[in-house]
Amino acid sequence: MNIKRDFPKVTVTEKCRKRTAYGHPWIYDNEVVSTENPEDGDLADVVSEKGRYIGTGFYNSASKIRVRIISDNTNDKFDGDFFRRRLGYAYDYRKIVMPEEDRECCRLIFGEADRFPGLTVDRFGSLLSVQILSLGIEKRRDIILPALLDILERDGVRIDGVVLRNDVKIRTLEGMSEAKGWYLRKGDVSPVTIITENNIRYKVDVMEGQKTGFFLDQKYNRRAAAAIAGGKNVIDCCTHTGSFALNCAAGGAACVTAVDVSETAVEMARENAELNGLTGNMDFVRADMFEFLEKRLSDHDKSADFIILDPPAFTKSSKTVGNAKNGYERLNTLAMRLLPRGGCLATASCSHFMTEPLFMQMLMDSARAAGVGLRLIETRKQSPDHPILPAVPETEYLKFCLLQII
């Protein structure tokens, strides 16, 4: 039996009803026909123009995403038990797809993919890094985070600190302020910690590092790159913390050059190499990746036989995807021209708008421009702690290819 509905209604267009029929959780502002004036951050029932129930979600008049649906079950009661169950489902999923040692550092909550819209929770050993990008989650923060901590504690996971990384401009689009700081801190626990991923140790600063502190989504892609790095001369562009470079060095590469435009990133990569005793066959270079590869080409230096390209997102909007494709093509063409026949290329895009078909087309265009052929070793995506919902294409963002030049 359905429970009594006390939530204000948001009526949407027929086009919206059809679009959300497969489970997409977002209702855009231009799809709203009328509302019963719900409070921002509160729950509202989304219905069709014929009064058909679509789902219940967080309403926000300040956001282009007017409603973020969290349930399409009319029997759900949105109390503490509801959110605890959801957290339990998310945690149990990680226990299915990752062994315990890989869960030491993993994404525990991945927003819409775990049906917590706008919430990211990353675990780095005994620290959690949390980012909240939706007002509905913000208003329920003190229900959700203590419940998650209790679930972890009951499973024997000790958490000494929780850092809020809400220092992102996108929060202002949701009518929220930017801020960062401790949500929970036991004693004088430091925001700087040492993590281990793929048997490589990294120094991570969850308070000051990029985004939530460390990029966890390439965990298994780094392992795949290391598996073919033995004996190779490797260039790792956009090395950041040195993660791909360090995996390849540990995997038996003859030498590894780690390149990043940021001096801070280069120093971080060098420090992580020292932490792992891997400085003997590694060089660290501060340079723009395009300029670095172009200079190698002009110097006729084709000694590298494995190049890794892991650039930041070239586009965060569908309006600029054409320019982004040109940027990716230029970068990949340079790498392909530098590699010998039989050499390997690992290349990635972390932009949702750079779709997989467009990414593969870019690679073919790059190969033609470089005058080479490509053999696909394998394609990969983000690690499974960043789950993909087929009904929500925005959850699928990372493309990663290992290729051989032929």
Of the candidates 162, 97, 164, 95, the residue with the CA atom closest to the CA atom of residue 123: 162
Q: At what angle do helices 263-275 and 243-250 cross, to 10 degrees?
A: 30
Specify whether the CB–CB gap between 276 and 200 falls below 8 A: yes
Start and end residues for every CATH 3.40.50.150 domain found in the chain:
215-405
Q: Which two tokens stand for residue 280?
A: 């003997």
Of the candidates 391, 315, 310, the residue with the CA atom closest to the CA atom of residue 353: 315
What CATH code would you report for 80-195?
A: 3.30.750.80
Of the candidates 325, 90, 60, the residue with the CA atom closest to the CA atom of residue 175: 60
294: Cβ–Cβ under 8 A, 6 or more apart, which residues?
334
**End-to-end Cα spacing for the chain:** 63
Residue 238 annotated in active site? no
Start and end residues for every CATH 2.30.130.10 domain found in the chain:
9-71
- In this prediction, residue 1 carries a pLDDT of 41
Please state the CATH superfamily assignment of the domain spanning residues 215-405 in this structure.
Answer: Vaccinia Virus protein VP39 (3.40.50.150)
Which neighbouring-strand residues pair with 245? none
Say how many C-beta atoms besides its own lie within 10 A of residue 60's C-beta. Answer: 27
- CA 189 to each of CA 141, 186, 224, 298: distance values in angstroms, whole numbers, following the listed order: 22, 6, 34, 50
- In this prediction, residue 312 carries a pLDDT of 84
Of the candidates 113, 23, 2, 26, the residue with the CA atom closest to the CA atom of residue 12: 26
CATH number among 3.40.640.10, 3.20.20.60, 2.30.130.10, 1.10.3720.10, domain 9-71: 2.30.130.10
Place of tokens 């809400």: 166
Reported pTM: 0.94
Of the candidates 135, 136, 214, 141, the residue with the CA atom closest to the CA atom of residue 176: 135
Give per-10-residue mean pLDDT for the chain (406 aa): 77 96 96 97 97 97 97 95 98 98 97 98 98 97 98 97 96 94 97 96 92 92 98 96 97 97 93 96 96 96 96 80 90 97 97 92 97 98 97 96 98
361: Cβ–Cβ under 8 A, 6 or more apart, which residues?
none
Q: Which of 106, 238, 350, 401 is catalytic?
A: 350
- In this prediction, residue 2 carries a pLDDT of 55
Start and end residues for every CATH 3.30.750.80 domain found in the chain:
80-195
- In this prediction, residue 210 carries a pLDDT of 82
